Amino acid sequence: MSSTVAEVKKGDRVRLSTRPEWGHGEVLSVIATIVDGQPTRKVRIRFARAGVREVIDSPALAQDDEGPVNLSPQALIARMAAIPQSLRDPLRSLADRFKECGAMFRFNGRGGSLIDWAAMQTGLVDPLSELPRHEIENAYIQFRRALEEHLRLLGKQMKLENEAEFRQIALQMPNEAQDVLRGRNVRR
């Protein structure tokens, strides 16, 4: 399922874990290059939702074997409301899960951000083609509640494990995630 960019070749389907809202991508080219005096590779990718982008050799780039989503409306809503597996994976470090969970607060449930979030959660290029907007908005509200609870849980665990690292990571999170960690009710 996951691979380093060194294993990616022209024609492969990929996803960028740091930008899942960009959707599935197709590798257009892989070019050897030098960055900061180190040999690396530049990968040119056409993403379904972000157009053509170039990525420098990154472990965030993974082969995408899942293909397009073909689910019932109820299954799509359940998938949208769920916390992503990457945030729950006990094989990933607590710090990585905590950092990624905080980063999820970049989605605000309004406008293009709502659609980017729905595309990330479902894998659909255009979630509005499958579900009415009000159902996507309701799924976001459910997701946001679960995300806040999950962030609090990871925050407690992280603080117990390494308080200095907890503080360092928390300070880099969006303001809304920091408010959740401080116990402020930020839901609108």
For the segment 146-175, what is each residue's pLDDT rounded down to a tens digit?
Answer: 999 999 999 999 999 999 999 999 999 999
pLDDT in tens, 10-45: 888 887 877 878 877 888 888 888 888 888 888 888
Residue 51 has pLDDT above 60, yes or no: yes
What is the reported pLDDT for 25?
84
- In this predicted structure, which of 11-20, 57-66, 93-102, 136-145 has the lowest mean pLDDT? 57-66
| pLDDT at position 186 over 70 | no
pLDDT above 50: residue 72? yes
Determine the length of the chain: 188
pLDDT in the model for residue 113:
92
- What is the β-pairing status of strands 51-56 and 61-63? unpaired
Output the CA angle 150-159-121, nearest 5 degrees. 25
* Mean pLDDT on 58-65: 66
Q: How many CA atoms lie within 13 A of 124 on its CB side?
A: 21
Distance CA 158, CA 179 (A): 16
Say if strands 38-47 and 61-63 run parallel, antiparallel, or are unpaired. unpaired
Rounded to an integer, the average pLDDT of 32-59 is: 83
State both tokens at 126. Answer: 């255009």
What pairs with residue 13 in β-bridges?
A: 26
pLDDT band at 135 (very low <50, low <70, confident <90, very high): very high
Q: Looking at 27-31, 67-71, 79-83, which range is the least confident one?
A: 67-71
From the list 18, 16, 39, the residue with the least C-alpha distance to 27 is 16
Q: Are 81 and 139 contacting, i.e. CB atoms less than 8 angstroms apart?
A: yes
Per the model's pLDDT, the better-predicted residue between 124 and 103 turns out to be: 103
Across the range 100-110, mean pLDDT stands at 93
pLDDT confidence of 5, banded at 50, 70, 90?
A: very low
pLDDT-above-90 percentage for the chain? 44
